[in-house]
Amino acid sequence: MVPTSIRVIYGDTDQMGVVYYANYLRYFEAGRSEFLRARGLTYRDFEEAFRLRLPVAEAGVRYRLPARYDDLLTVETSLVQVRRASARFEYRVVRPDGAALATGHTVHACVDLDGRVHRMPRDLLDRLADGEPPTPGPTQE
């Protein structure tokens, strides 16, 4: 698990003064970016080194409690499953008091620069799993 701190800005809130629901996906992206960085790889580095991309193929969020302007949030990001050509991340957004505000997941396909599905490179898998082995998925996808 890699924690990422995010302070809610005014522009992230809606008319009711709570974080607009879609912004949690942005928080997940920030957590995922920091997860990669903690493994010694930025997304830009990944694209350049492997000539691949990891678009979101699926996303889900469960909202539990509202976050508000100026709240300090922590996005806890974990890689929970790697398959031949995809990876699943899970997220937990919490306040400093430990209250879980939202949980969710994203599944990322591994594709080449032309958008064709591609096997996850072994070097990438080794870096992603550093210190946190994901659950292996089925060999068929």
pTM: 0.87
- Identify the CA nearest to 77 among candidates 8, 128, 127: 128
* pLDDT digits 0-9 by tens, 4-21: 999 999 999 999 999 999
Q: Tokens 């809610």: give the residue.
A: 8
Indicate which residues carry an active-site annotation: 14
Cβ(31)–Cβ(105) under 8 Å?
no
Residue 135 confidence class, pLDDT cut points 50, 70, 90: very low
Domains of the chain with bracketed CATH: 2-136 (3.10.129.10)
Q: Which residues contact 87 (CB under 8 A, 6 or more apart)?
A: 54, 79, 81, 107, 108, 110, 120, 128, 134
* pLDDT digits 0-9 by tens, 70-97: 999 999 999 999 999 999 999 999 999 9
**pLDDT at residue number 138:** 43
